[in-house]
Chain A
Amino acid sequence: MNIVVCVKYVPDAQSERTFNESDNTTDRVGVDGLLSELDEYAVEEALKIVEAGEGEVTVLTVGPDQAADAVKKALQMGADKGVHVNDEAIHGSDSVATSLVLAEAIKKIGDADLVLTGMASTDGTMSVVPAMLAERLGLPQVTFASELTVDGQQVTIRRDGDAASETIVASLPALVSVTDQINEPRYPSFKGIMAAKKKPVETWGLADLGVDASQVGLDAAWTKVESFTKRPPRQQGQIVTDEGDGGTKLAEFLSAQKFI
């Protein structure tokens, strides 16, 4: 079983996130980053599948130099090898271009039985890259798995939807995105951290993938940010301490605001 896990390097959600004034792209340089927490679930699930059977886990990321940290973390958790697509021209790419680069990299890695992703990135939260990847690779798309089993030539997932809990079956190779309900990602062990240092990481540019620079980056985007405005921070309103009348005061507020 060859598994490719797509991971993203994202700004730390705890830090202040901003835009670049010059080109209206997300500022990924000025802030601390890390492996998107939501992708850790995909890495963990890949490791569990391989540990229960056999196979190899390749982590794939597209991003600037610092994104190597995301690959490193996944290798420390136990992935076998890494691929980092890094090219100046990629800066400012939207999900359409990112999915193109990922798809070409997955083809170049070759022989993937399963492509795993997180449910969303913790910064963009568009949740569209997995569907775009499936479309580009012509793979069955099974997203938002909160349980996953692979047997023989098929994958079965459970998806916890609003109206129903669904079981979805697809043949391999397939693309699966997993939720944060699926497992409890491991912390890298000391042994894992040491072992990661010797694991192979390949760095590819666009030329290695046969992708033309004109197909990616800000200028190739099919949408354009016209402007952005920082919302004024919410002003703290009235805070009362309950002295036996907190509920009454709350109801008075709601009534003054015409909610009741």
Chain B
Amino acid sequence: MAEVLVLVDHANGTVRKTTAELLTIARRLGEPSAVFVGDGFDAAKETLAKYGAEKVYRVESADVTDYLVAPQAEVLAQLVEKTSPAAVLIPSNSAGKEVAARLAIKTESGLVTDAVDVQPKDGGGVLTTQSVFAGSYSVSATVTKGTPIVTVKPNSAAPEEAAGAAADEVVEVAVSDAAKTARITESKPKEATGRPELTEAAIVVSGGRGTGGDFSKVEDFADSLGAAVGASRAAVDAGWYPHTSQVGQTGKQVSPQLYVACGISGAIQHRAGMQTSKTIVAINKDEEAPIFELVDFGVVGDLFSVLPQATDAVKAARG
């Protein structure tokens, strides 16, 4: 069976949930081989094995880790050459998409980004599903040239365990000087919020201009549900919440089980980032707010009275 390369998303060996999802998808297409770039393999090995990675290609060269995406694309290109995989699966975050873009050009292969599903195609190849135009269309596509390179969105598959050998093989890579031209000179880590990551969370509670800058009620409600906190661009532009929490066209695209919009009007650019959520709830003072067109449940009211009451009720129900 052909190998399927999965680029592992991790922070110093702590493997992110998206990788388990990608390994699960890879098993539909062939035999999963993880590609692990950076330090911390020992910590990662168990998780990779648990989700069915038969092989792990390890790249530890500083050349690859200190620079941006170009060296990772070179590494993958060398592995594609070596293994002729059935597909390459890469997490659909901004760096992942760039790695994929460069890999596609290098290997002259078709690229599908932001897939929400990947299935084997009758007669070989892969069939991908994407959600486009702010979620109003669903598109199925196939790759017609080279090795299918697919970036896959978080929450596109439920991770399923399947024991794999995770036999590691250190790969020596030659990274060209051209790939080393952009360098990270400083990195200031963000303070951890203790909340789930926005794009991976099962529940997202977002606040907009209607919060007037006070996100405490939004955060309390999110915490009662174990949710991530998001924000509209109006709230971000006002400096009330960090840009990395912005949901929408120029922020994060989220697709949780439950999305709660608080004091958000529902502009098209905001919808572009949350419209594919399974269940949508909104709280807004204005019964005419466009967000109500998409909701499964809406409360016309002031978020400062509705949210605290809901928070108490959730806490009471959860004991």
Chain B binds chain A: yes
Contact, CB under 8 Å: B138 / A228 = yes
B117 on the A face (CB < 8 A): no
Give the A interface residue count (CB, 8 A). 83
Q: State the Cβ distance, A256 to closest chain B Cβ, in Å.
A: 9
Chain B residue at smallest Cβ distance from A99: B105
Contact, CB under 8 Å: A223 / B98 = no
Q: State the Cβ distance, B76 to closest chain A Cβ, in Å.
A: 13
The segment from B23-31, B56-64, B163-171, B178-186 that touches chain A is B178-186
Contact, CB under 8 Å: B297 / A253 = yes
Complex Cα distance, B197 from A83, in Å, reads 42
B257 on the A face (CB < 8 A): yes
Contact, CB under 8 Å: B111 / A95 = yes
- Could you say which of B187, B189, B305, B311 has the most chain A C-beta atoms within 10 Å of its C-beta? B187
B293 on the A face (CB < 8 A): yes
Contact, CB under 8 Å: B101 / A132 = yes
Contact, CB under 8 Å: A141 / B68 = yes
Q: Known contacts A165-B190, A223-B111, A251-B310; is A132 also within 8 Å of B300 by CB? A: no
Contact, CB under 8 Å: A17 / B133 = yes
Contact, CB under 8 Å: A131 / B69 = yes
Contact, CB under 8 Å: B185 / A168 = yes
Give chain A residues whose Cβ lies under 8 Å from the Cβ of B145: 222-223
Give chain B residues whose Cβ lies under 8 Å from the Cβ of A163: 11, 189-190
Contact, CB under 8 Å: B142 / A132 = no
- Could you say which of A120, A222, A240, A241 has the most chain B C-beta atoms within 10 Å of its C-beta? A222
Give chain A residues whose Cβ lies under 8 Å from the Cβ of B268: 13-14
Contact, CB under 8 Å: B182 / A169 = yes
Q: State the Cβ distance, A197 to closest chain B Cβ, in Å.
A: 32
The segment from A48-56, A200-208, A231-239 that touches chain B is A231-239
A2 on the B face (CB < 8 A): no
Give chain A residues whose Cβ lies under 8 Å from the Cβ of B293: 234, 236
Contact, CB under 8 Å: A170 / B69 = no
Complex Cα distance, B110 from A132, in Å, reads 13
Dominant SS at the B interface?
mixed
Dominant SS at the A interface?
mixed
Q: State the Cβ distance, B108 to closest chain A Cβ, in Å.
A: 7
Give chain A residues whose Cβ lies under 8 Å from the Cβ of B242: 160
Contact, CB under 8 Å: A260 / B225 = yes
Q: Known contacts A222-B143, A260-B317; is A135 also within 8 Å of B184 by CB? A: no
Complex Cα distance, B318 from A44, in Å, reads 51
Give chain A residues whose Cβ lies under 8 Å from the Cβ of B188: 164-166
Contact, CB under 8 Å: B146 / A13 = no
Contact, CB under 8 Å: B302 / A224 = no
A210 on the B face (CB < 8 A): no
- Could you say which of A17, A95, A236, A259 has the most chain B C-beta atoms within 10 Å of its C-beta? A259
Q: Give A219-249 interface residues, CB cut-off 8 Å to B.
A: 221-231, 233-234, 236-242, 244-249
Give chain B residues whose Cβ lies under 8 Å from the Cβ of A140: 181-182
Q: State the Cβ distance, B95 to closest chain A Cβ, in Å.
A: 8
B44 on the A face (CB < 8 A): no
Contact, CB under 8 Å: A166 / B184 = yes
Give me 14 other A-B pairs in contact (C-beta within 8 A), A160-B242, A168-B183, A245-B309 excluded. A13-B268, A95-B101, A96-B110, A127-B113, A169-B182, A237-B298, A238-B297, A239-B292, A240-B297, A247-B299, A248-B313, A253-B296, A254-B258, A254-B281
* Residues of B bordering A, CB below 8 Å: 11, 68-70, 73, 93-94, 97-102, 104-106, 108-114, 127, 131-146, 178, 181-190, 197, 203, 225, 242-244, 249-250, 257-258, 268-269, 272, 275, 279-281, 283, 287, 292-302, 305-314, 317-318
Q: List 12 A-B contacts (CB under 8 A).
A: A128-B104, A132-B102, A132-B105, A140-B182, A229-B137, A231-B131, A231-B135, A236-B292, A236-B294, A236-B295, A239-B300, A241-B287
